[in-house]
Amino acid sequence: MSNPRHSQGPGAAAALGYFDGVHIGHAEVLSAAVRHGDTAAAVTFGRLPKKSSGRILTESVRNRRIRGLGINEIITLDFEQVRDYSPEAFIRFLKAKLGIKFVSCGYDFRFGKNALGDAALLTKLCLKEDMRPLVLEPVLFGEEPVSSTNIRRRLEAGDISAVNKMLSLPYEFDFTVSVGDRRGRTWGFPTINQVYGEDFALPKFGVYASKVFVDGKWRAGVTNIGTRPMFRADKPLAETYIPNFDGDLYGRNIPVRLYKYLRGEKKFSSDQTLREEIAKNVKESEKLACHSVKDMIE
């Protein structure tokens, strides 16, 4: 558990949740803590619930976006330490150990041993402990509540436009750049290779218009996510071509944002037809990049 000293004080506020994705519903919960506290902390947990089907954002991207909403500190609780707390004990822990006076959470927040506590019980227990609770109502996307589950479903379907609207910022990853087979370099399309972790939700395999944050600015790119069927590679990874860039990015955590699903993975009859298709995808991505917004890291 991180040191909570910066969150202590008579007006300390806490936003409770996993905040996987930091979607627009999460933003309401986090912003409420910022508005109601002298200092505001995001109190989260070291691992996702068992029912989760994979992380949406890397921890570094998630934390950067949380802090971008005005949160002073991110307190990550050791799940093994608090998993057996009763709902009553968990609320007392927030007050006694973290000095929290105001608590915000989403309508579907669960807490305590076996997730026995819900938002209604949290409200009751907080009032009993002289803490101010605020439960946020669901934020809708169309007729559906915005949720991490819904975002994962859209991500896996390749509906990156809907994903980005629910996140309010483009879907982003920053996995470490690893050494590839350098095959793209021989075609004139060198790529950076980033392997997806096993505990992450995967976007639909295929080619995306993307942007890559390199040397202090966002550059248009083309990203292929998948297993490279043409070369029988079976480990999911992201390969991104950055036009007019030939620097060494190995070992760095490079942010990549996806903007539009261009096409599915497919095998080509020759290297030449593959080169032609990549060139076409580059033109599409560069055209889209001229009109995209929110290009700065928040």
Amino acid identity for residue 177 in this structure = V
- pLDDT, tens digit (0-9, with 9 covering 90-100), for 106-135: 999 999 999 999 999 999 999 999 999 999
The residue among 144, 116, 102, 92 whose CA lies nearest residue 16 is 102
Total domains present in the chain = 2
Evaluate whether residue 294 is within a structural domain.
Answer: no
User: Is 189 found in the same domain as 127?
Assistant: no
Evaluate whether residue 155 is within a structural domain.
Answer: no
CATH number, domain containing residue 31: 3.40.50.620
9/7 Cα distance (integer angstroms): 7
pLDDT value, residue 148: 94
User: Is 183 found in the same domain as 102?
Assistant: no
Domain of residue 272 covers 170-289
Evaluate whether residue 161 is within a structural domain.
Answer: no
174/241 Cα distance (integer angstroms): 15
CATH number, domain containing residue 270: 2.40.30.30
% of the chain beyond a pLDDT of 70: 86
Evaluate whether residue 156 is within a structural domain.
Answer: no
pLDDT value, residue 296: 35
pLDDT value, residue 1: 46
Evaluate whether residue 163 is within a structural domain.
Answer: no
Instruction: Yes or no: say if 224 and 242 are a contact pair by the CB < 8 Å rule.
Output: no
Burial class (CB in 10 A: 0-12, 13-18, 19+), 199: exposed
Residues of the chain scoring pLDDT < 50: 1-10, 230-232, 293, 295-298
User: Is 175 found in the same domain as 118?
Assistant: no
User: Is 177 found in the same domain as 129?
Assistant: no
User: Is 251 found in the same domain as 209?
Assistant: yes
Instruction: Yes or no: say if 137 and 143 are a contact pair by the CB < 8 Å rule.
Output: no
- pLDDT, tens digit (0-9, with 9 covering 90-100), for 227-265: 865 444 567 899 999 998 988 899 999 999 999 999 887
User: Is 229 found in the same domain as 189?
Assistant: yes
User: Is 192 found in the same domain as 126?
Assistant: no
pLDDT value, residue 44: 94
Q: How many CB atoms lie within 10 A of CB 144?
A: 13
User: Is 12 found in the same domain as 130?
Assistant: yes
Strand duo 39-45 + 12-16: pairing: parallel
